[in-house]
Chain A
Amino acid sequence: MIEALLVATLAAPAIFLAAGFVGSWRTRALVWQFLAPAPALAAGVFGLSHAPVSVDFRGLGLSLTLDPPGALLLAFAALLWMAVTAALWRDGAPDARFGISWILTMFGGLGVFIAGDLVSFYLLYALVSVPAYGLFAFSEDAEKRRAGAIYMAFALFGEALLLMAFALLAAGEPHGSVRIADVMAALPVSPWRDAIIALIVAGFGMKLGLVPFNGWMPLNYAAAPIPAAAVLSGAGVKAGVIGLIRFLPLDVAMESWGNALAALGFFTAFYGAAIGLTQQKPKTILAYSSISQMGVIAAALGLGLAAGDAGASGTMAFYGANHLLVKAALFLTLGFVASGARLSGLSLALAAALALSLAGLPFTGGALAKLASKAQFATGWPALLATLSSIASAMLMTHFLMSLTALPADAAQEARRETPAVLIRFWPALVLGALLLPWFFADAPGDALSLGKIWEGFWPVAVGVVAVFGWRRMGRSAPVVPAGDAIVLYECAFARTIALGPVFETADARLRQWPAAAASLLLIVLALLVAASI
């Protein structure tokens, strides 16, 4: 049963993808591809209520695994992919380039949660990263092309770091197995342990937007049309979360690495919120909010690693799953507001509840996520920083809501054009879903309803909201920071590197002269002789 579901999770998108390459089937395949995540949804729901399973296909060298953290993320991601895909193609057919990129990203974005060996994890992770370029960068618009180029550079660089990490992991496994469970069991005694962990953190940190690898995300989300931004920020980024969950040895206490990751995560959380407050475009603000939230997840996983607390994977999967729904719904909220629909008191309240869910507003899914993260942020400086990060999130999300009310006409028009009509019509239902669905999957949802917990969740949100209003009232304006902040420096450095190109060209031209080539031939003979004699 579960074997069939796991295979179908991968097979269904693969079949739609294959059909997408057959000319006469393409249109139908793209229209019906919203069904492709159905097996993933079933597998995710199944996996939540069953013990972890692992299935090996020896002939293919493939192994699939389903455990509760992966299953939760898988189920929520599948739901999101289905909803957005169905609405997008119902509204009219995006072109085939976009369609193929979409289904490739979906394939990777679902499969990465169940990959059980290094090679298939790497493949599916590459699928959720690289083809996403096609969702926003096939454009003549210079800013979108820039965003695409930067996105690609980070994606490929991250892939290279992970490939090295995986090669070291595989080399440390004495029996030649590449199953994730086996290589992770061998990691604590691996001679390359520290290098592996550094590469893992940097590699997945690129996906999560941890400082200093955060600059691509605001550019990407600003360039992406709303449905693409919704799935990338919701489901796509969680590939990084599952990556850290799978490849950090959480059950072995590694204090210095754990504390370092926690520090990096908290720094990212505050940095993202601070830079986000200086931004004016709603999509950019949401991107910085993602950076900030992923920082919180990294911090919690770091603390889990420091304490040798394997439970952090479950709580952070829940935190990530909540963020998955809420962030996607927030992008759709932008489309809803831009559509010019009448904003009743109820819809304003819904939008506010959704936004502040990220800060842990009581009665929202975010309150449950905060509660779950208490396992890692129990006492001492982590608890203090977690509360401060709630305040920062509340400030940032209030800033987001205000930016929605002051949407420039052209931005509103663009957002309206990008958002499928169905999603606008059903927006209240989607928001309610995002707020309430986590309640069905939380460990002990009742705890969040005690008066003490409600107060604990409420006051940081209130402080954050008041702070932003106060700031505005005082008429203070934030400094101007370009979207993507430090990315501007990277681009300068990159331009300097590019300027080295002519040096290589000159050297190549010299070396390709006859005398130089003949001399090289002699030198190679000599070098080989010298090497052989030492």
Chain B
Amino acid sequence: MTATPATTPGGFLLVLAVLLPAGGVLLSFVLGGRAAGKIALGLTPVGFGLACLVAMKVAAAGAPIAYAIGGLPPPLGIALRADGVSAVMMVAAAIIVAASAFYARAKFVMPEGAPESRGALTFWIMIQAIWAALNLIFVGGDLFNLYVALELLTFAAVPLVCIDGRPETLRAALRYLLFALFGSVSYLLGVALLYGLYGALDISLLAQRVEAAPMVWTAAALMTAGLLAKTALFPLHLWLPPAHANAPAAASAVLSGLVVKGSFFLALRLWFYVLPGLPTAAPSVVLGALGALAVLFGSVLALRQARLKLLVAYSTVAQIGYLFFVFPLAAGAHVWSPLGWSGGLMQVLAHAFAKAAMFLAAGLVAEALGHDRIAGFTGAARALPLTFLTLGLGGLSLMGLPPSGGFEAKWLMLRASAASGQWLWSLPILGGGLLAGGYVYRILAPALADGEVEIKARPQRSREAVALGLAVLALALAFAPRGFFDFLEIGRPSVSRSAP
């Protein structure tokens, strides 16, 4: 994203995309709990439409679209910029936020006459705040601006974890908050170092100025470690399982599907947009190795969980590991880099949809059975066919079996690892799929077996359909045409400058 003009046609759409949910937050504060749900639900189609418009503009231009706030180009002003990946992530975020909001109606929309609950107001405000923060992360072009977005994301996500106020959820939320703050400090230190060195925070300006100096590497290492803490990459995952397993299902879907991807997205921005001109091969291997450990530990721990939500949460730890193979597989400007890049982003999307679907389905299972102990699932699939179909389809994507986005991601990554001669990465990629097969089997095999379960409350069809819809999207990614992958390349610096 080098020579982008300050503001391109359609650039104001980016401002709108951020302001729309932010405005929803303010309005919800003013009008109170009963209106907040309606505002959030009403904004989701508008936000989805905006995201699609941005994607269409980017596709039509074949180049990133940008907006300079206040008409001042960087380094004086702050730029918003949407390239192919931003647009795709915005659309995905809009879909998942909308699905979670729709699903949460049953729990958080207050009927007329009933007293307003604090939990409901918190949920609707925070989910909009998360959405605003994510959009800002996806289009932000300035590292400090991105820091603000990252903080907003964390502060909006933490209350969702402890929405019901039980002591263990408060403990989980506190853990999340404290560790995320560690991450923030680390990131901010790195940003400050870069600013001190180059006097610029704009991504494309920095990309032109950075060189392989020890201070730059220090800044990059600090920023990356901070982002990894927020992404919960193993071994920095201490907060994730309790937080994601204790939040209400609709919140878990957003936390696991989207929020961890926000900080991962920034790590991508840092390594592929700020530092692409530097020799990043060795640090990339460190990141990939951490990813491999995450796949191993997350999957094995998922295999050993007795509760469905914890299993799904540990599976997130494993699936996050896959994301980090993008660093060794897509770094540099090689023939295989586009394969690795496509594979990494496909994994982001496939996991976002599949995991959101699975958390929503896990919530339905817990409500219908009154518990989420896997040992008590025998025969449950016949009582809740749609919900277990959702778990099965989501699981298909996690295992990487076709047709699913998860398969497409593994297929692309494996090809990249073969073509680049880094075939060692194929071991965790394939082994993780086998382990995922193990934990998906643990859920589905008893559920599909003969047996009777007692249904406490039959789930609403519409909520089952929402979860299933997300799982179907995770599958539909497998049929992404070539043009989709070309779209992801828009605005990605291929060879930003020749090596010195």
Would you call A528 and B225 a contact (CB within 8 A)? yes
How far is it, in angstroms, between the C-alpha of A531 and the C-alpha of B182 when the chains are bound? 23
How far is it, in angstroms, between the C-alpha of A498 and the C-alpha of B451 when the chains are bound? 27
Would you call A521 and B426 a contact (CB within 8 A)? no
How far is it, in angstroms, between the C-alpha of A525 and the C-alpha of B183 when the chains are bound? 12
How far is it, in angstroms, between the C-alpha of A505 and the C-alpha of B400 when the chains are bound? 25
Q: Which residues of A contact B182 (CB under 8 A)?
A: 518, 521
Interface Cβ pair total, 8 Å cutoff: 137
Would you call A160 and B430 a contact (CB within 8 A)? yes
> If A152-B441, A524-B290 touch, does A167 touch B411 (CB 8 Å cutoff)?
yes
Interface-side segment among A38-46, A136-144, A340-348 = A136-144
Q: Is B161 part of the contact surface with A, judged by Cβ < 8 Å?
A: no
How far is it, in angstroms, between the C-alpha of A518 and the C-alpha of B225 when the chains are bound? 11
Q: Is A163 part of the contact surface with B, judged by Cβ < 8 Å?
A: yes
Contact with B along A94-131 (1 / 0, CB 8 A): 00010000000000000000000001001100100010
Would you call B297 and A529 a contact (CB within 8 A)? no
Q: Which residues of B contact A388 (CB under 8 A)?
A: none
Q: Taking the nearest CB of chain A, how far is it from the CB of B295, in angstroms? A: 13
Q: Which residues of A contact B434 (CB under 8 A)?
A: 156-157, 160
Interface-side segment among B41-49, B121-129, B212-220 = B212-220
Would you call A130 and B286 a contact (CB within 8 A)? no
How many chain A residues touch the partner (CB < 8 A)?
54
Would you call B238 and A512 a contact (CB within 8 A)? yes
How many chain B residues touch the partner (CB < 8 A)?
62
Interface-side segment among B137-145, B251-259, B442-450 = B442-450
Q: Is B70 part of the contact surface with A, judged by Cβ < 8 Å?
A: no
Q: Taking the nearest CB of chain B, how far is it from the CB of A156, in angstroms? A: 4
Interface residues of A in 34-65 (CB under 8 A from B): 59-61
Would you call A167 and B235 a contact (CB within 8 A)? no
Would you call B238 and A513 a contact (CB within 8 A)? yes
> If A97-B382, A123-B402 touch, does A525 touch B445 (CB 8 Å cutoff)?
no
Contact with A along B222-250 (1 / 0, CB 8 A): 10110011000011111000000000000
Q: Which residues of B contact A152 (CB under 8 A)?
A: 437, 441
Would you call B418 and A529 a contact (CB within 8 A)? no
Would you call B235 and A533 a contact (CB within 8 A)? no
Would you call B401 and A130 a contact (CB within 8 A)? yes
Q: Is B285 part of the contact surface with A, judged by Cβ < 8 Å?
A: yes
Select B235's contact among A130, A157, A517, A531, beta carbons within 8 Å.
A517
Q: Which residues of A contact B167 (CB under 8 A)?
A: none
Q: Is B300 part of the contact surface with A, judged by Cβ < 8 Å?
A: yes
**CB-CB nearest in chain A for B480:** A61
Select B448's contact among A97, A157, A527, A529, beta carbons within 8 Å.
A97
> If A505-B304, A521-B225 touch, does A516 touch B418 (CB 8 Å cutoff)?
no
Would you call A516 and B451 a contact (CB within 8 A)? no
Q: Is B414 part of the contact surface with A, judged by Cβ < 8 Å?
A: yes
Select B285's contact among A163, A529, A531, beta carbons within 8 Å.
A531
Q: Is A192 part of the contact surface with B, judged by Cβ < 8 Å?
A: yes
Q: Which residues of B contact A504 (CB under 8 A)?
A: 297, 300-301, 304
Q: Is B433 part of the contact surface with A, judged by Cβ < 8 Å?
A: yes
Contact with A along B342-378 (1 / 0, CB 8 A): 0000000000000000000000000000000000000
Q: Is B496 part of the contact surface with A, judged by Cβ < 8 Å?
A: no
Q: Is A475 part of the contact surface with B, judged by Cβ < 8 Å?
A: no
Interface residues of B in 393-413 (CB under 8 A from A): 399-403, 410-411
How far is it, in angstroms, between the C-alpha of A315 and the C-alpha of B415 when the chains are bound? 34
Select A501's contact among B280, B300, B399, B433, beta carbons within 8 Å.
B300
Q: Taking the nearest CB of chain B, how far is it from the CB of A444, in angstroms? A: 41
How far is it, in angstroms, between the C-alpha of A151 and the C-alpha of B266 when the chains are bound? 42
Contact with B along A499-534 (1 / 0, CB 8 A): 001001101100111101110110011111101111
Q: Taking the nearest CB of chain A, how far is it from the CB of B386, in angstroms? A: 10
> If A505-B301, A508-B297, A528-B217 touch, does A159 touch B419 (CB 8 Å cutoff)?
no
Would you call A119 and B235 a contact (CB within 8 A)? no
**CB-CB nearest in chain A for B284:** A531
Q: Taking the nearest CB of chain A, how far is it from the CB of B312, in angstroms? A: 16
Would you call B228 and A524 a contact (CB within 8 A)? yes
**CB-CB nearest in chain A for B183:** A521
Would you call B430 and A529 a contact (CB within 8 A)? no
Interface residues of B in 445-476 (CB under 8 A from A): 445, 448-451
Would you call B221 and A528 a contact (CB within 8 A)? yes
> If A59-B481, A123-B402, A163-B411 touch, does A529 touch B450 (CB 8 Å cutoff)?
no
Q: Which residues of B contact A171 (CB under 8 A)?
A: 336, 415, 418-419
How far is it, in angstroms, between the C-alpha of A517 and the C-alpha of B217 when the chains are bound? 22
Q: Which residues of B contact A60 (CB under 8 A)?
A: 479
Q: Which residues of B contact A97 (CB under 8 A)?
A: 381-382, 448
Q: Which residues of A contact B482 (CB under 8 A)?
A: 61
**CB-CB nearest in chain A for B421:** A191
How far is it, in angstroms, between the C-alpha of A11 and the C-alpha of B25 when the chains are bound? 48
**Given A61-B481, A139-B450, 17 other A-B residues pairs in contact with their CB atoms under 8 A:** A60-B479, A97-B448, A149-B441, A156-B433, A167-B411, A171-B418, A505-B304, A508-B297, A516-B235, A517-B179, A521-B229, A524-B228, A524-B290, A525-B225, A528-B217, A528-B283, A534-B282
For the complex of A and B, list the 6 residue pairs with the smallest distance between their C-beta atoms, beginning with the closest: A167-B414, A171-B418, A528-B221, A512-B238, A532-B217, A531-B282
Taking Cβ atoms with an 8 Å cutoff, the residues of A that contact B are 59-61, 97, 119, 122-123, 126, 130, 134, 137-140, 145, 148-149, 152, 156-157, 159-160, 163-164, 166-168, 170-171, 192, 501, 504-505, 507-508, 511-514, 516-518, 520-521, 524-529, 531-534
30 A-B pairs, CB-CB below 8 angstroms? A60-B479, A97-B382, A97-B448, A126-B401, A138-B450, A140-B450, A145-B445, A149-B441, A160-B434, A163-B400, A163-B433, A164-B426, A171-B336, A171-B419, A501-B304, A504-B301, A505-B301, A508-B301, A514-B238, A517-B236, A520-B236, A521-B236, A524-B228, A524-B286, A525-B225, A526-B221, A528-B221, A529-B217, A532-B221, A533-B217
Taking Cβ atoms with an 8 Å cutoff, the residues of B that contact A are 179, 182-183, 186, 212, 214, 217-218, 220-222, 224-225, 228-229, 234-238, 280, 282-283, 285-287, 290, 297, 300-301, 303-304, 336, 381-382, 399-403, 410-411, 414-415, 417-419, 426, 430-431, 433-434, 437, 441, 445, 448-451, 479, 481-482
